Structures are given as C-alpha cells and as structure tokens.
Amino acid sequence: MPGIVVRAQFSELQSVFFPCQHSASFSVPAMRAALLIQRWYRQYVARLEMRRRCTWNIFQSMEYAGEQNQIKLYKFFSYLMDHFTPASSERNLIAHIFRENEVCRDAEWERYFNYKNIEVPEFYSGPHLNFPLTATNATELVEAFRTKQQLHSRYVLQLLVETWKLLRILPNINHVSTCHSKEITICGDLHGHLEDLLLVFYKNGLPSMETPYVFNGDFVDRGKNSMEILLILFAFLLVYPNDVHLNRGNHEDHIVNLRYGFTKEVLGKYRVHGKKILKLLQKIYSWLPLASVIDQKVLILHGGISDTTDLDIIAKVDRHRYVSTLRPPKQRKSSAKNKQSDQDSWDEDNMTRRRVRSMTYSSPGVSRPEVQRHSLQTLSSQVEEELRERRRRAGFSLSHGDLHNSLSSDSDSDPGENLETDAEDWKQVVDMLWSDPMPIDGCVPNEVRGGGCYWGPDITREVLEKHNLQLLIRSHECKQEGYEFCHNRKVLTIFSASNYYEVGSNRGAYIRLGPDLVPHLIQYQASRSTRDLTLRQSVGRTERSALRALREQLFAHKSDLISAFQEFDPEQTGLISLNHWATAMESVLQLGLPWRMLRSQLVNHTQDGKLNYQSWFKELAIMEPNTQLAHTNLLETLYKHHSNLETIFRIIDTDNSGLISFEEFRQTWRLLSSHLQIDISDEAISDLAQSIDFNKDGSIDINEFMEAFRLVDRTQQERSNSTLSGVHPHLLQSEHPTKTLLVSASPHFV
Amino acid sequence: MAPKKKEEPKPAAAPKPPEPEPPKEPEFDPKEVQIEFTAEQIEDFKDSFQLFDRTPTNEMKITYAQCGDLIRALGQNPTNAEVMHVLGKPKAEDMNSKMLDFDTFLPMYQHICKAKDRGTFEDFVEGLRVFDKEGNGTVMGAELRHVLATLGEKMKEVEVEQLMTGQEDANGCINYEAFVKHIMAG
C-alpha cells in the first residue's frame, strides 16, 4: 500500500538544529523548558495509554472468556447426546438444543413461514411495506426506526422470506467492482447499535446505486436494536441487490444469539411470532455469503484466515449446511444400521450425532446399543477427562491430518471421503468467521475465543499471493480508533460499533474504497457527550465500568479465591503478601490480567505490605446476598454461571412464555452441574426453586430469576435510586434496600 | 494505531553545519548496566510489559516502537533521544517490526531510571515561568502551543490540542501551576 509522505519544511528543520537562529526571541531556558514540558506530556499520555490498555484488557478478556465458556457448554451437550442417555425427562432438554432445521423441502418451509394470515390491525402506526420493496420503503423504514417505531411482525416475516429467497441464489463469495467510478463503503461490526448505523448513513449516505456498501458481519447481539439493523440491511439488500453486500459474522448464529442477547430481544419485541422469526433467521444466517472480493484484489471477510484458507474451496462449499458454525454440519449420507438402534427421541438428529460420534469415538465398530449408558446422576470426573480428550480431537484445534486419521478409524462410517471434505469445508468456514491476526509468524489455534486461529504476517502474505490479492479487510475485534492496520498494512480491521464496551470506550469507523483501492477511513462516535471529555476523563469512565465488571467476577468466585488465598496462608493469619494475592487471583480467574497493575485499583488497605483478604472482600462494596436464601455458596455458583443458565432456559422455554416449571429448572440445574462438576443436592435445588417462585404459582419467570442474580455496588446504590427502578417489585424488601436480593448495574456484555 | 514518529526528520539539501548537539554519548551497552531493582519491582514491571505484549501465545515481546511508551508508563520521562539511545539507535523501519523481550528491556529501563535529575514540580513550573511575560502566574496559550510545536522534540498539533484541552481560560491564558499539577497527576 503506497504511503503518502509529507516533506518537512526546511524552516522547521532549521528550528530543530538551530533553535537560536530561527527563533531569536527564545533563549536556552526556553528550549529547556519546552523539552521538559514535552517530556512530561509524553509521560502523561503513556500513563493514560497504559490505563486504557488495562481497561481494554479487562473487557476483552471477559468477553472472550464468555465466548469460550459458551463453546465449552455447547460441546459438552454435544458429547452428552452421543454418549449418555440421561433420564428420560432430561433427554428432551438436550434434544431441543440440537433441534436444528428439520430436513424439509423449501415449499414446506414457505408454508410454515406464511405471513399472509397475519393481520395488521387498524391502530398500527408503524411503517407499512409493499413488496417488491422500493427505495422509498427502505428509506421510510430507516426513518421509522430512527423515531423508535417497531415494524409489525407480518412485515417482518414477509421481509425475511423475501430476503431468504434472494440470499439463496447468491454465491458464497460476492464479487464487487468499482467500475463506473464508484466508491464502495465498508462497515464492520454493528452489534445492534442502531445509532451508529444511522450516523454512518447520515455522514455517508443511504445505500444506493451510487453508494454501494459491504457490511462485514456481526449485525446482531449486545446492542438493543439488532432486529432493526437486520431489517434495514435486508431491506436495502432487496432494493439494491447489486450494490449492497452482506458477509456473515460469527454472531449470525442462533446458538451465539441465545447467549448474547439477540434471541431475548426478538422474543421481547415479538411475543407472538418471535419464535418463527428466529427460526427463519436461522435459515437466513446460513444463507448469508461468506466473503466479498472487490475488483479481485481486496478480500473482505468477518474474522480472518488461516494457513489452510483457500478461496477456491470456499467458493464451492454448501454454505447453508452450517446453520451454526460452532457445530459441524449434518453428514450427507447415513448408514442404515445406526438408525435402528435408538429411534425414539433422537431421530432427527441421528445423522448429526453419528457424525460427531465418529470424530470422538476411538474404538470402531461399536454400535449404539452397546454404548454404556450412564444416567446423569452418576457422571464423575472421568467424564471431564474423556471430554477433554474428545475436545482436543474433535475441536477447532484439530489439524487436518488428525481429523482425517480419527475419522478413518471408525469402520461404521462411509468411506472417509465425504467426511473429509466436510471437515475441511467446516474448518474453512470457521476460520473465516472466528480467526484473529497476531504479530508473529505462524498459525495457532485461537484458544482464547475457542474457535478459528491466530494467523501471522507470513500467512497473510501467502494467502494474498495465492489469490493475487493486495489487501485483507476484516472485523471481529473492537479497536479503540474504530480501525487498525497490521501485517505491514496488508490487513485492515474495521469496527463500526462505537462505545462498544462502555460509553466513550472507542470510536467506530468505516472505509471508503475507490478504484485506486486505497482505503480511506472515517471515524465517528455516537454519543455527543463523550466527544467533549478530555482524554483522562474518557479513560477514567471506561475504567470505572471495567472495574465494576471485574468486581462482579470477584464476587462470583469468592469461595475459590478465599481457598486460593488460604493456601498461601497455612498459619491462618488472615494475611497474604501482595505477590501471592496476584498469583492467586490469576490462578482462579484465569483472565490473563495484569493483577499487579490493577492492585492499586482493587486493594485499598495493606498492613506492612500484606493484605487481609477477608476484610478485603467486604471492602469491595459488593452486597451480601439476601440471607433468606440459605445456601449462599449456591448463590455464588449460580451467579458465576448465570449466562449459561440463561442460555439453557431460553432453549427450554419452547413456547416463549418466559416461564419454566420447577421440573425444568431442576433438570437444567442437574445438567449444568454435571458439566461443571459441582455437587449440589437435589434438596438445595428444590429449595432454591421454591424461594424464587415469587408469586408461588409453581413456575419461575426467567427474567425475574435472572434479575435476581446480578450484583450492585453498595456505594452506587446509595447514590442513585434509578438502579432500583429496574428491580422486580417482588424482589424489594420495603425499608432496607441492603437486604434486597442482588440488583444490577452490570454491563450488558456479561 | 498509526506508528508514532520518534526520529527527527533528516535534513534536506542543507549544507552540513557544525553540530550544535551535546558531545556524542558512547553507544549503549546493556551489559554494563547494573540492575538495582528488587525482585518485587521486577515482577511489577513484567505485568506492565505484558500489557504491551500483543502476541497471543504470550511470548513476552514488545516492538521497539512501544519501548518509549512503556518506559514512560512506568513513571520515567525520558526524551525521545534518550529512548533511541538505549534502543541502540534503530532504523525507522525497524521500529514497528523488531521486537525485544523483557530481559533486553530491563537494562534499558534501569539505565533511564539512573539518569540524572528528571525534573521536579518546581523545575517544571520554572520552565513555564520563562514564558510568563507579565509575571502573573499565567502564560498565553497561543505562545505555549507555538513553543511546544516548534522547539525541542516537537509535538504534533493534535498532541498539543490534547494537552491543552480545557486549560485555557476565556482570555486564552493558562495558570501554569494548575497546568503542571494537571500533567503530573496523570
């Protein structure tokens, strides 16, 4: 990429080397003074940068730990399905998770998604859509969303069906050209931040034939207008199919949506038809193109590449088979023998399960009836060990060679070839959507996220050369300035959701690319108030938010932390050195954070360089849980895993009532506790279930339940009563707010 | 982020004048540096070092360009020239690609820490007083900007802007004691 060099003025140069000559009025003291100020300024900036980096680190490591967490959970269920037959009541639960698109013809799908019966009532004041959509419709839609209206579910379904029909005929790789002297605009992750999309449209213009766009994935999750963003993007796609291009991101995945908020958003906004909408979106996701190429020279995809990336293979995969990229696709052929063994509730998923089994089973020739059956109750630590081994072999870190070997050892399977191509194809797709760049050469599995790779500058060189490309544009990682170059400016990360972690945490940006293929970057920040903050104020604000989130994690791991501290305190003095504190923190939380640096923010009092850890916990100003709930360590555990719990609840709440029965609650908990290897008695679970049934009607409201297990800063609560307004009335105990069940101010990414 | 330019631009077609710079320092030799930090302090530095380490496999390496930032973040305030000196005067193109590990960094940092007087609050205030034409505790913002952008190790306009945000009063004056406190509190 050619750089643009500005030549320094000769007069300026003179002032450096001959200061006295150039500025006769400035003496040597002035010179010295200037140097002193400059040195101090640079130190000031560097210290702020350090704090900013630290804060960033906190947010990012928690974000990725959450992703990894979810992938582990998903894999665990996968494994369970293959090898264990839980008691029949739990069986349905697990089957649900994998109840993906049943094998159906498209015509049947169209009947299922029939929107024609849905009537739009007279009093509906939102936008009306006419199909085929016109530019006016699309513009009106944008305007409607800007004024916070909601599109009626009939139009939503209609729009989605039309989108699906269009996407089906698109290739895996969009080929875009800048001929006709067009400049193309490329946007990165939006994550439901409608205000950012509107800002981009305001600055750059709505999509049209003169203003083509590429949207590089992650349109949904986290922000609260994911639905509106999708609807806008799809509307413009329908109106300008040659000028609007969408790439799939790792969040265009229904499993990920369960955890990161999109599912919740849809079900909340569309109580009657939400489920259908989600189902249709599952299909749409799988039909989204995987990449775009501009002028055959610039490659745009969401995550990145790996040492095996091959665009020719990618162009030919059946992309719609990857409903969720977290899971290998259903196998093409199935063997008859496997089907007969377990017909009752597993039928739909037979093919998939067989596929997964073939990757995890080392001893060939074992047919299903002989598989040893364990009930969930008797799972022991050997499960985890086995699972670790399976994961290692079945997971993303699998190299192509290993995969081939483990596959071919299963004699039940069809000839290895189909499985081999399947595995290869899957890896191509996963790598494209999940990988991150790294500064050193090579290609290693991306263990931080749990999917894809880390790839180095040498891989960039190779892949670009192989396909005669000159630039790779990707997204997937939040960047403070909204963009970042790396790999010798051959890779450009673009991120379009400003204020992603916290208000003021980062800018968003988009790219304009003309026929010269030199990227021009435009930055913005959605919230006006943050632009006027000084650098230190902005850093400080984000920092406080990160520390709050971190303190919540500390609470969630309190027992483990105390045990770890006690190991360093064999004489039970109640004190440990700060060094040991840091070591213990990392060993329990495993977030890879610079604890020694954070120490000054987290620890207020030390005695002779030692910390009294019990009183330290009290100082963190985290509320003690309501003493009505007797099992306080259970509470802590539940808090720690509440994201997983929520995910599972949403899966089992099949009628989207928001309610689950005690029995379902118990089943969920048993499943989760075997995954986590926690030993909690049935009695404790039952007690807990009953105590959170606030209206005593025999069922638990999911939202209420989740609300109950979030934390607040004691000091914050005293300051602002607005926190309490988010509390369910049942959770409030009249005069003493400190006795309430935990009420939240937690950031939304948890 | 765009790499920060740390080196002075080389002179264009000017005739070579006698060097007005201080006498040439000997090349930096890390082996001659005696490490005087405690083990505890070294652990602390490692934490900070790690924060700048962008290798996913945690190789504990940072680029040459980050060295100066790290030294400053740890509490020192060397000039750019001093940073380049301990780095062994690397070429501009190496700044973003060459990497160093913690053991290479430590002697560099120790050397900077040992350097003479770093400048106290008073020194700083004295320095600014030079520009206090009326002796009333204030300097003209415009003059300060000009000085910072044209003298010494020049700052870029955007850096000056960042520094001065919110410091000037309605008349464009800066109370420099307050200003210094602001900088040093960072």
Enumerate residues 6+ apart whose C-beta is below 8 A from B66. Answer: B52
pLDDT of residue B43: 87
Host H or E run for residue B106: helix B102-114
- Whether residue B103 lies within 8 A of chain A, CB to CB, comes out as no
Q: What is the mean pLDDT of chain A?
A: 74
| Annotation marks residue A736 as catalytic | no
- Going by C-alpha positions, the residue among A46, A27, A486 that lies closest to residue B80 is A46
CA angle A34, B67, A12 (to 5 degrees): 35
For B37-46, write each residue's pLDDT tens digit: 888 889 889 8
Cβ contact, residue pair B48, A594, below 8 Å: yes
* Sign of the torsion formed by the C-alpha atoms of A156, A162, A165 and A170: negative
Chain A and chain B share a number of CB contacts under 8 A equal to: 169
> What percent of chain A is modeled with pLDDT above 70?
68
Cβ contact, residue pair A40, B77, below 8 Å: yes
Q: How many other C-beta atoms can be found within 10 angstroms of the C-beta atom of residue B184?
A: 15
Average pLDDT over residues A92-105: 54
| CA separation for the pair B50, B62 (Å, rounded) | 8
pLDDT of residue A307: 94
Host H or E run for residue B85: helix B80-86
Average pLDDT over residues A386-406: 40
Q: CA of A584: how far to CAs of A49, A156, A568, A575, in Å?
A: 27, 51, 8, 13
In the structure, what pLDDT confidence band is assigned to residue A531 with cuts at 50, 70 and 90? low
pLDDT of residue A633: 62
- Whether residue A543 lies within 8 A of chain B, CB to CB, comes out as no
Scanning A417-446 for CB atoms below 8 A from B yields 436, 438-440, 444, 446
Bond into A121 cis (ω within 30): no
Catalytic residue among A83, A251, A254, A642: A251
Enumerate residues 6+ apart whose C-beta is below 8 A from A122. Answer: none
Q: Is the ipTM of this complex over 0.90?
A: no
Instruction: Spell out a b/e string for B20-44, using b for 16 or more CB atoms within 10 Å of the CB, else e.
Output: eeeeeeeebeeeebeeeeeeeeeeb
In the structure, what pLDDT confidence band is assigned to residue A113 with cuts at 50, 70 and 90? confident
Among A101-110, A280-289, A502-511, A686-695, name the one with the lowest average pLDDT: A101-110
- Whether residue B70 lies within 8 A of chain A, CB to CB, comes out as yes
Q: Over 90: is that where the pLDDT of A64 sits?
A: no
Whether A542 and A58 have beta carbons less than 8 Å apart is answered as: no
Cβ contact, residue pair B124, A45, below 8 Å: no
Cβ contact, residue pair B79, A534, below 8 Å: no
- Whether residue B11 lies within 8 A of chain A, CB to CB, comes out as yes
Q: Over 80: is that where the pLDDT of B111 sits?
A: yes
Structure tokens, B161:
């802007």
pLDDT of residue A416: 46
For B136-180, write each residue's pLDDT tens digit: 888 888 888 888 888 888 888 888 888 887 788 888 888 888 888
How would you list the strands of the sheet with A471-474, edge to edge?
A173-176, A291-294, A298-300, A471-474, A491-494, A483-486
Chain A CB contacts of B163 under 8 Å are 41, 44
Cβ contact, residue pair A47, B186, below 8 Å: yes
- Whether residue A562 lies within 8 A of chain B, CB to CB, comes out as no
Helix, strand, coil percent values for chain B (each to nearest 5): 45, 5, 45
Whether A702 and A643 have beta carbons less than 8 Å apart is answered as: no
CA angle A661, A662, A665 (to 5 degrees): 90
For A696-740, write each residue's pLDDT tens digit: 677 877 776 666 655 444 444 444 433 333 333 333 333 333 322
| CA separation for the pair A708, A675 (Å, rounded) | 23
Helix, strand, coil percent values for chain A (each to nearest 5): 50, 10, 40
Scanning A30-49 for CB atoms below 8 A from B yields 30-49
pLDDT of residue A407: 33
pLDDT of residue A435: 95
Amino acid at A668: T
Residue in the structure block whose two tokens are 């799939």:
A248
Q: Which residue has the higher pLDDT, B185 or B88?
A: B88
Q: Which residue has the higher pLDDT, A278 or A390?
A: A278
For A546-558, write each residue's pLDDT tens digit: 888 888 788 778 8
Q: How far is B83 from chain A (nearest CA, A)?
A: 11
Phi then psi for A547, rounded to 5 degrees? Answer: -65, -35
pLDDT of residue A451: 83
Residue in the structure block whose two tokens are 């074992």:
A366
For A329-352, write each residue's pLDDT tens digit: 655 443 333 333 333 222 333 333
Phi then psi for B148, rounded to 5 degrees? Answer: -65, -30
Residue in the structure block whose two tokens are 């305030």:
B77
In the structure, what pLDDT confidence band is assigned to residue A168 with cuts at 50, 70 and 90? very high
pLDDT of residue A449: 81
Residue in the structure block whose two tokens are 């985290």:
A622
